Amino acid sequence: MQSIDVSSEKNIDVYNLETSSSEHSYHVNGIAVHNCWCAVGKDNTCGKRYEWQLGNLPFGFDHKYIYSEIGYNFKATDLQAALGVSQIKKLPKFVETRRDNWKFYREHLNEFNEHLIMPEPTAYSKPSWFGFTISIKEKSPFTRTDLISFLDQNKIDSRMLFAGNIVRHPAYMDIRHRVSGTLHKSDFVTKNTFWIGVAPVVTRPMQNYVVEKFAEFMKRYK
């Protein structure tokens, strides 16, 4: 993942919301995860991250998460597998922190539920959350692109919820396939849904900053 720093105006130290910010790990992450990356300390140098419309995808779909080739995005290496195995002993703490970070966002972003759909765990489940999923309601006065662009300008990164309706992506548009139903739920996710991180490296000061920026954005629509 791309390394993103975040800081507030309250003398909070600069934090890293994703992975190690060293130049070496930055480029390794960019190459290993996807082939779209900018120089260290720079973002969106192509000027098209949220400013274009490709194929049948909605306008503003983050190009970092467009599936342009079949298969390559999920090709793990032996090195990545070895690193994963070495982290297993830390898993209980990782899971605990992810649940705690998710709970914080669920409690503190709920005040914006007039415009946002908040996630709920399946009954009787206790997930180890991958991220905090947020959807923009259809009748909201702003779009997903409006919100995530604002977050990005304030050094808060976000992710598309995987592919959404994958047959709208360039890699799959021309394959033979059968569609059952309207896929309107998949299209809703493709257009309206994103998530923010709850990884163990996310600290409480970072989360407070994120909530503050959500509140700042929402003030425009009261």
pLDDT in tens, 168-205: 888 888 888 888 888 899 999 989 999 999 999 999 99
Say which CATH number the domain at 152 has: 3.90.1150.10
Mean pLDDT of 59-88: 80
Model pLDDT, residue 161: 86
Model pLDDT, residue 56: 76
Q: Which of 40-54, 61-75, 124-138 has the lowest mean pLDDT?
A: 40-54
Mean pLDDT of 17-28: 42
Question: Would the pLDDT of 10 be above 60?
Answer: no
- Binning pLDDT at 50, 70 and 90, where does residue 126 land? very high
Tally of domains within the chain: 1
Mean pLDDT of 63-89: 82
Model pLDDT, residue 166: 82
Rounded Cα gap, residues 222 and 178, in angstroms: 44
| pTM for this entry | 0.72
Q: Which domain holds residue 123?
A: 5-221
Q: Which residue has the higher pLDDT, 8 or 173?
A: 173
- Binning pLDDT at 50, 70 and 90, where does residue 2 land? very low
Q: Chain-wide mean pLDDT for the chain?
A: 80
- Binning pLDDT at 50, 70 and 90, where does residue 70 land? confident
- Binning pLDDT at 50, 70 and 90, where does residue 17 land? very low
Instruction: Report residue 136: phi and psi, to 5°.
Output: -85, 130
Long-range residue pairs from 183-192, CB within 8 A, at least 24 positions apart, any chain: 188/135, 188/138, 189/135, 189/161, 189/164, 189/165, 190/57, 190/58, 190/61, 190/163, 190/164, 190/165, 191/58, 191/144, 191/164, 192/135, 192/136, 192/137, 192/138, 192/144
Q: What is the pLDDT of residues 130-179, one digit of tens each?
A: 999 999 999 999 999 999 999 999 999 999 888 888 888 888 888 888 88
Question: Would the pLDDT of 8 be above 60?
Answer: no
Instruction: Report residue 133: phi and psi, to 5°.
Output: -85, 135
Q: By three-state DSSP, how is residue 74 classified?
A: helix
Q: Which residue has the higher pLDDT, 22 or 215?
A: 215
Q: Which residue has the higher pLDDT, 70 or 54?
A: 70
